[in-house]
Chain A
Amino acid sequence: MSKPHSRARWIAWAPLAFVAMLGLLFVWGLNRGGDRLIASHWIDQPMPTFVLPAASASRPGLSSAALADGRPRIVNVFASWCIPCRVEAPQLAELRARGVIIEGIAIRDRAADLERYLAENGNPYASIGADARGQVQIALGSSGVPESFLVDGRGIIREQIQGIIAAEDVPGVIAKLEAMQR
């Protein structure tokens, strides 16, 4: 009689333990502060080799070889189903308007959804590669969308930006790309 009883007692406290863990996570989440960028081991490494077909009829696909043409640029990992990407779109449009080259990699996307997304949020991309199964995303070690890589003229990643490029980040991004030009 005592044995099943003790097991039941253990289970009875499991929900409390779960909620306590959730609570700790929330406390951490509230206090994580503003600085959320984490340095990546991809800094100063060349882009992994990939060739992606075109995701959209309006733009060519993307291959890693094309990134080493001497011009620094942004490689933006995004998806039409990603809601933060919609928030990022105006900043990308502004970067594009200020002459920054932006290449896109669409993760696990469908053509129709992507076209709709581009029509709604603008298309700042010079090319869009379709990463239908997220393989390049894995190769890049990028864990989510959106994510941007600042790549110099030789195809070497100089900076990784996890999450959205916020409006206040735009001048910094431009300054960094201009510094690579020299």
Chain B
Amino acid sequence: MIAEIGHACLWIALALALLQIIAGVAELRGRAFVPVRPLAVAQGLLTLIAFGLLIWLFARSDMSVELVARNSHSAKPMLYKISGAWGNHEGSMLLWLSILGVAGAGVALFERRLNARTLAATLVAQASLALGFFAFLLFVSNPFARLGPAAAEGQGLNPLLQDPGLAFHPPTLYFGYVGLSVAFSFAVGALITGDIGPAFARAMRPWVLGSWIFLTLGITAGSYWAYYELGWGGWWFWDPVENASLMPWLAATALLHSVSVTATRDGLRAWTVMLAVVAFSMSMVGTFIVRSGLLTSVHAFAVDPTRGSFILALLSLYIGGALTLFGLRVGSMAEGKRFALLSREGALVVNNLLLSVILVVVLVGTLSPIVAEAFGSQISVGPPYFNPWAGMFALPLVAVMAVGPLLRWRKDDGGRVRRWAPVLLAVMALAIVALALLAPGMRLLPMLGLALSVAVGVLSVAPLFGRNLRRAPLPVYGMVVAHFGIAVALAGMATESSFIKERLIAVAVGEATSVGDWRVTLSDVKPVVGPNWTALEGVLLVQRGGASLWPFPLASERGEPHIMRPQARAFTQPPTETNEAALLTTWDGQLYAVMGQSAGEDANGNARWQLRLWWKPLVWWIWAGGGLIALGGLLALIGRIGPLRLFKRWRGAREQRKYPHGRYAA
């Protein structure tokens, strides 16, 4: 019964989406017959209910529902039963739709700045998106389909995916994608009514900012998940699925900066609209690449050509439609305000161009295997292409990022840049000299990256100089924190890729080895049993030898040896083996240990085990930087939509009630 109710909710929501389009178009023509806002709210509620019901089905392990039987197992821990609801194609599409519905409801409920016509057009666009995806869900990927005779037991879930990372990583990305869909709807709405200006940009900005925060968090979490769960020790593989999440982020970052120009200075109008379309297009292209099996990836998703064709049809409809509208309207679009090249806007244009170039680099790299195939050959494009090409444009981008915030809007005399540029150059030169002396033979790109990260780290706080710190607006703090986060992440990437130490060795119990300045002893190997797996666990005693560069070693580095417990796990449902890496984090890096297979016996007949050890200096700075970037976004978002502002308004209203004639009235 639960499944049927969920199914019905989805059909009603689909009908409401259709009605919303009709009502919205009628309102645009000046013949409104039903208010549009409540329709959007009801649609959001219904999809949310349907999603809640699906979670309930998974929690109860109702094996009469095909999706549950295929992806769950009654022996799974509750957290993974619930996360199993969206760890598969159908469930994740339903999650996508319920977020879309809630976002549509949010626009309908809270958007007050936009004029009524543009809002109606926006809601029409949003409902068209929803309609397409409802059709996709109900016709080719119904999550509530029943199974003929109910299954006795479920078929489990990919053990690689039985991890807290999975429970939160995809929803985070979906929040990001859906936020971009709202920006897309705003852009389409503004194109329809031709009302593109600061009001439109201010309405769109919180959604862009919000989705950008979620994308940042999603990519950071995904990178960390791949790092410790896949057991390969890498944090970015340029895999098509990773690129699929990176491309919308790049577009959203560009959009975030250009929307500021439109909101503050009424410039770059056409470009902002274009970027809003591109950003959502990238998230749809990403979804298409991941779900259609177009490219080979380490992330296995159920592949179904019908679904691929369906997503492709939706993709061409929405993107093609928006771009056609853009082509028709861009001629009549009033040009925004002009500005001098040396100005905040100028720096943001450079930022946008560089981000777009990187986006193209990633897009070309991701798609070139299939382009090559279309011309009759097969290739795999890996880091040797991506690293230098993306790096080449990322470094100037970071440099511009350091300078841009020091410029004034509209026109700058270059005074602050002249004051700070020597600092940037001096710190960089110093860092390069130090690196050349301390680490001869370091490759050029990481060396420049590291030097630049030091300089940018210093310069990113410069916008706060000479300001009253208590009165500086929250978005300025947000920008400073996010830019500082970029410097932190860049330092982590450059250091890790240059100074990583690794050791691959077969050791017997009691034997010791070393990696970097760590001494590692295999003290025991024992079997361990988990809820649905068994494992061989290595017990490693690790101790830091040598002198730390830092004069105040943390407690974790002094005296007592630490214990690390890497596991080689074997799941029975379905039979799969995974590695649980063990991590030891210190302020300056992480020790990463992976337990391998049995490696025969040594000369004395003692059993030996494969052990992989890495010392990864500053590696966790990459994700800490990602976290800071997201935190910066959050600060800006709070500053923009302002719980503070709401609080002030509420207090103002109360003041008004208490003292109708003013507090100091006689």
Q: Name A's B-contacting residues (CB within 8 A).
A: 5, 8-9, 12-13, 15-16, 19-20, 22-23, 25-30, 32, 36, 38, 79, 81-87, 108, 112, 115-116, 119-120, 143-147, 162-163
CB neighbours of A144 from chain B (8 A): 369, 372, 377-380
Instruction: List the A residue with the shortest CB-CB distance to B370.
Output: A29
| Other A-B pairs, 9, CB within 8 Å; known A15-B274, A26-B294 | A5-B331, A15-B326, A15-B327, A16-B323, A19-B319, A29-B294, A36-B378, A81-B382, A84-B380
CB distance from A102 to the nearest CB of B (A): 19
Q: Which of B308, B371, B380 contacts A83 (CB 8 A)?
A: B380
Does B239 count as interface, using CB distance less than 8 angstroms? yes
Does B556 count as interface, using CB distance less than 8 angstroms? no
CB neighbours of A28 from chain B (8 A): 374
Bound state CA distance, A116 and B277, in angstroms?
42
- Give the one of A15, A108, A112 with max B CB within 10 A: A15
User: Contact: B380 with A26, CB < 8 Å?
Assistant: no
User: Contact: B305 with A119, CB < 8 Å?
Assistant: no
CB neighbours of B610 from chain A (8 A): 119
Stretch at the interface among B13-21, B309-317, B453-461: B309-317
Bound state CA distance, A81 and B372, in angstroms?
19
User: Given contacts A12-B327, A119-B612, is CB(A25)–CB(B374) below 8 Å?
Assistant: yes
User: Given contacts A16-B320, A27-B312, is CB(A32)–CB(B382) below 8 Å?
Assistant: no
Bound state CA distance, A5 and B330, in angstroms?
10
CB neighbours of A108 from chain B (8 A): 384
Total count of chain B residues near the partner, CB < 8 A: 49
Instruction: List the A residue with the shortest CB-CB distance to B321.
Output: A16
Bound state CA distance, A9 and B324, in angstroms?
12
Q: Name B's A-contacting residues (CB within 8 A).
A: 232-233, 237, 239, 274, 277-278, 281, 285, 288, 292, 294, 296-298, 305, 308-309, 312, 315-316, 319-320, 323-324, 326-327, 330-331, 367, 369-374, 376-380, 382-384, 502, 504, 596, 610, 612
Instruction: List the B residue with the shortest CB-CB distance to A82.
Output: B380
CB neighbours of A120 from chain B (8 A): 232
A-B contact count (CB 8 A): 110
CB neighbours of B374 from chain A (8 A): 25, 28-29
> Interface of chain B, helix or strand or loop or mixed?
helix
Instruction: List the B residue with the shortest CB-CB distance to A115.
Output: B504
User: Contact: A26 with B288, CB < 8 Å?
Assistant: yes
CB distance from B555 to the nearest CB of A (A): 32
Bound state CA distance, A181 and B470, in angstroms?
83
CB distance from B388 to the nearest CB of A (A): 12
CB distance from B185 to the nearest CB of A (A): 18
CB distance from B296 to the nearest CB of A (A): 5
User: Contact: B376 with A38, CB < 8 Å?
Assistant: yes
Bound state CA distance, A5 and B335, in angstroms?
12
CB distance from B480 to the nearest CB of A (A): 34
User: Given contacts A82-B380, A143-B378, A144-B379, is CB(A30)–CB(B305) below 8 Å?
Assistant: yes
Instruction: List the B residue with the shortest CB-CB distance to A11.
Output: B330
CB distance from A161 to the nearest CB of B (A): 10
CB neighbours of B369 from chain A (8 A): 144
Bound state CA distance, A65 and B596, in angstroms?
37
CB neighbours of B378 from chain A (8 A): 36, 143-144, 147, 162-163
Bound state CA distance, A69 and B237, in angstroms?
39
User: Given contacts A12-B326, A162-B378, is CB(A84)–CB(B296) below 8 Å?
Assistant: yes
Q: Which of B312, B327, B379 contacts A30 (CB 8 A)?
A: B312
CB distance from A17 to the nearest CB of B (A): 9
CB neighbours of B305 from chain A (8 A): 30
- Give the one of A12, A20, A108, A115 with max B CB within 10 A: A12
15 residue pairs A–B, Cβ–Cβ below 8 Å: A8-B331, A9-B327, A12-B327, A12-B330, A19-B281, A26-B294, A30-B308, A82-B380, A84-B296, A84-B380, A85-B380, A116-B504, A145-B379, A145-B380, A162-B377
Bound state CA distance, A85 and B233, in angstroms?
18
User: Contact: B296 with A83, CB < 8 Å?
Assistant: yes
Bound state CA distance, A36 and B378, in angstroms?
9
User: Contact: B370 with A143, CB < 8 Å?
Assistant: no
Instruction: List the A residue with the shortest CB-CB distance to B501.
Output: A112
User: Contact: B312 with A26, CB < 8 Å?
Assistant: yes
User: Contact: B380 with A25, CB < 8 Å?
Assistant: no
User: Contact: B309 with A30, CB < 8 Å?
Assistant: yes
User: Contact: B298 with A83, CB < 8 Å?
Assistant: yes
CB distance from B381 to the nearest CB of A (A): 8
Instruction: List the A residue with the shortest CB-CB distance to B281.
Output: A19
